[in-house]
Amino acid sequence: MLADFLEYDFLQHTFLTGLLIGIVAPLLGTFIVVRRLSLIADALSHVTLAGIAFGLFIDKKLALGIAPLYSGMGFSVLGSIFIEKLRSVYKAYQELAIPIILSGGVGLSVIFIALADGFNTDLFNYLFGSVSAVSKTDFYSILGISVIIVLVIRLFYRELVTLSFDEEHAVASGIHAKWIHLLFIILTALVIAASIRVVGVLLVSALMTLPVAASMRLARGFKQMIVLSIVFGEIAVMIGLISGYYFSIPPGGTIVVVSIIIMLAAIGIKRFSLTRRTTHGTK
pLDDT along the chain (283 residues), means of 10: 66 87 94 88 90 86 76 91 89 86 92 79 78 80 90 91 82 82 87 83 88 95 95 94 86 92 96 79 59
Residue 93 lies in a domain: yes
Cα 217–Cα 186–Cα 57 angle in degrees, nearest 5: 110
Decide if 203 contacts 25 (C-beta within 8 A). Answer: no
- Write the burial class of residue 132 (CB in 10 Å: 0-12 exposed, 13-18 middle, 19+ buried): middle
Domains in the chain, number: 1
User: Which phi and psi angles does 63 have, rounded to 5°?
Assistant: 55, 50
Residue 147 lies in a domain: yes
CA distance 71 to 58: 10
Residue 149 lies in a domain: yes
CATH number at 9 reads 1.10.3470.10
Residue 37 lies in a domain: yes
| Torsional class of 29: left (φ above 0), alpha (ψ -120 to 50), beta (otherwise) | alpha
Decide if 74 contacts 51 (C-beta within 8 A). Answer: yes
Residue 60 lies in a domain: yes
Specify the pLDDT at position 1.
58
**What pTM was estimated for this model as a whole?**
0.88
User: What b/e readout covers 30-42, taking b as 16+ CB neighbours within 10 angstroms?
Assistant: bbbbbbebbbbbb
CA dihedral 75, 159, 164, 157 (to 10 degrees): 80
Residue 283 lies in a domain: no
Specify the pLDDT at position 3.
65
Range of the domain at 161: 3-278
Residue 102 lies in a domain: yes
Specify the pLDDT at position 107.
94
Residue 132 lies in a domain: yes
